[in-house]
């Protein structure tokens, strides 16, 4: 059995977590009609061994449900669905944050519910293809640029949804400002061509996410507000490296004043060495809890904590295949093999049917 801080309790804001492992947010497309259900409750409860579960990307608005069968968190039915998930996790002594994900331009009109509209900071289409309910795999449409007034309404949608989510039983909210979704679309000059107060300079491009955070903190408190960023993973044209550093320095310095309970750093790519300089800088700019994520093994997670790169480590794909990941890692038990073909799609297959290890 491995003995290390990774497997020992950690105080996150007001919460005492069982360990320093987080389950990364993972879109699994099991929410038929965008409503969380009992299958999802079972899935999260199975994984409550993680110190912190971060529930999958969930939209605060009909406009942000750009993928098929992803959950929302604004209607009564959705909040009742989430309440049963939170209850199941609590019954297993777990803690759970919700990841608030507005897809913005990363979506298709065919996937949006009635009343939803494909919106973005600017009318710049994603150059890739997207799966839809009725049309197969098709090019992304051009989104409509939000008016300044609508930017404010969108911020209100985030805070309204955050309040509802806390009422449903979540321990906190992680704002998804990574991987090219709406808040990230505001940061990047490739997708933000605005000429009002929400575009142009670094300060103006960061304004949307900082206002979302500020207003969320005002409503639910800083110990319940967190954020995920991915400076190197935009999924298409990213910022110039020098601009990445300047932008994130500005952002993290602002976070340090607002004091969200954690900042979650995501990296999905190949050149891992490139990230460490920025991760070390971020440690200097922001003094709260840092979670890192991206291809971590037990050894790498221990090193990240021992080298003071991070306080906690999140695991993504390994939690898909191993409901009892914490037990397996601590006891050096081989991991189940995963099946990518069941990552997305309705039903329990490849979702709640991965085996637990025999207790040693």
Ligand X SMILES: Cc1cc2nc3c(=O)[nH]c(=O)nc-3n(C[C@H](O)[C@H](O)[C@H](O)COP(=O)(O)O)c2cc1C
Please report how close the Cβ of residue 157 comes to ligand X at its closest, in angstroms: 18
Closest CA to 100 of 227, 190, 185: 227
Please report how close the Cβ of residue 149 comes to ligand X at its closest, in angstroms: 28
The active-site residue, picked from 10, 181, 262, 354, is 181
Please report how close the Cβ of residue 124 comes to ligand X at its closest, in angstroms: 21
Please report how close the Cβ of residue 15 comes to ligand X at its closest, in angstroms: 20
Cβ partners under 8 Å of residue 352, min gap 6: 39, 42, 43, 46, 323
- Count of CA atoms in the C-beta half-sphere (13 A) of 170: 28
Return d(Cα 226, Cα 101) in angstroms, integer: 13
Site membership for ligand X, residue 66 (CB under 6 A): no
Site membership for ligand X, residue 99 (CB under 6 A): yes
Among 256, 295, 331, 342, binds ligand X (CB under 6 A): 295
Please report how close the Cβ of residue 183 comes to ligand X at its closest, in angstroms: 11
- 101, 64 in Cβ contact below 8 A? yes
Q: Select the span of 135-143, 239-247, 301-309, 314-322 touching ligand X (CB under 6 A).
A: 314-322
Backbone angles phi, psi at 135, to 5 degrees: -110, 0
198 is catalytic: no
Return d(Cα 277, Cα 97) in angstroms, integer: 28
Site membership for ligand X, residue 131 (CB under 6 A): no
DSSP-derived letter for residue 34 is G
- Count of CA atoms in the C-beta half-sphere (13 A) of 34: 25
Site membership for ligand X, residue 45 (CB under 6 A): no
**DSSP labels, 220-279:** H-GGGEEEEE-TT--SSS---HHHHHHHHHHHHHHHHHH--SEEEEE--SS-THHHHHHH
Among 10, 158, 208, 315, binds ligand X (CB under 6 A): 315
Site map 190..229 versus ligand X, x via CB under 6 A = --------------------------------------x-
179 or 245: CB nearest ligand X: 179
Residues in the chain: 360
Return d(Cα 95, Cα 204) in angstroms, integer: 35
Return d(Cα 234, Cα 213) in angstroms, integer: 20
Site membership for ligand X, residue 234 (CB under 6 A): no
Site map 170..189 versus ligand X, x via CB under 6 A = ------x-xx----------
Q: Give the three-class secondary structure for 120.
A: strand
Site membership for ligand X, residue 343 (CB under 6 A): yes
Please report how close the Cβ of residue 147 comes to ligand X at its closest, in angstroms: 28
Distance of CA 10 to the CA centre of its chain: 20
Q: Select the span of 23-31, 72-80, 242-250, 272-280 touching ligand X (CB under 6 A).
A: 23-31
User: Which residues contact ligand X (rule: CB under 6 A)?
Assistant: 24-27, 56-57, 99, 101, 176, 178-179, 228, 266, 268, 293-296, 315-318, 343
């Amino acid at each position: 059995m491995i003995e290390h801080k990774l497997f020992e309790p950690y105080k996150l804001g007001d919460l005492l977590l069982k360990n320093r492992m987080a389950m990364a947010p993972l879109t699994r497309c099991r929410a038929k009609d965008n409503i969380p259900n009992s299958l999802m409750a079972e899935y999260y409860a199975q994984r409550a061994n993680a110190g912190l579960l971060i529930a999958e990307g969930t939209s605060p608005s009909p406009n942000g449900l750009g993928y098929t069968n992803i959950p929302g968190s604004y209607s009564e039915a959705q909040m009742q669905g989430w309440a049963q998930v939170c209850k199941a996790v609590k019954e297993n002594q777990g803690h759970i944050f919700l990841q608030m994900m507005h897809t913005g331009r990363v979506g298709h009109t065919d996937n949006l519910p009635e009343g939803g509209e494909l919106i973005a900071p600017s009318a710049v289409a994603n150059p890739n293809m997207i799966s839809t309910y009725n049309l197969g795999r098709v090019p992304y449409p051009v989104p409509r640029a939000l008016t300044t007034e609508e930017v404010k309404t969108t911020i209100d949608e985030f805070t309204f949804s955050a309040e509802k989510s806390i009422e449903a039983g979540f321990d906190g909210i992680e704002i998804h400002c990574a991987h090219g979704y709406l808040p990230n679309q505001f940061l990047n000059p490739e997708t933000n061509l605005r000429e009002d107060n929400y575009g142009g300079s670094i300060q103006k491009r960061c304004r949307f996410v900082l206002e979302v955070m500020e207003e969320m903190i005002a409503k639910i408190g800083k110990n319940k507000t967190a954020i995920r960023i991915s400076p190197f993973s935009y999924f298409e044209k990213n910022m110039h490296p020098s601009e990445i550093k300047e932008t994130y320095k500005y952002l993290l310095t602002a976070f340090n004043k607002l004091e969200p309970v954690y900042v979650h750093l995501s990296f999905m790519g190949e050149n891992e060495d490139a990230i460490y300089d920025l991760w070390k800088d971020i440690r200097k700019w922001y003094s709260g809890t840092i979670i890192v994520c991206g291809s971590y093994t037990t050894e790498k997670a221990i090193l990240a904590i021992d080298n003071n790169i991070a306080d906690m480590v999140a695991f993504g794909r390994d939690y898909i295949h191993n409901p009892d990941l914490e037990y397996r890692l601590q006891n050096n038990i081989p991991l189940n093999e995963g099946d990518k073909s069941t990552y997305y799609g309705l039903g329990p297959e490849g979702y709640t049917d991965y085996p637990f290890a025999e207790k040693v």
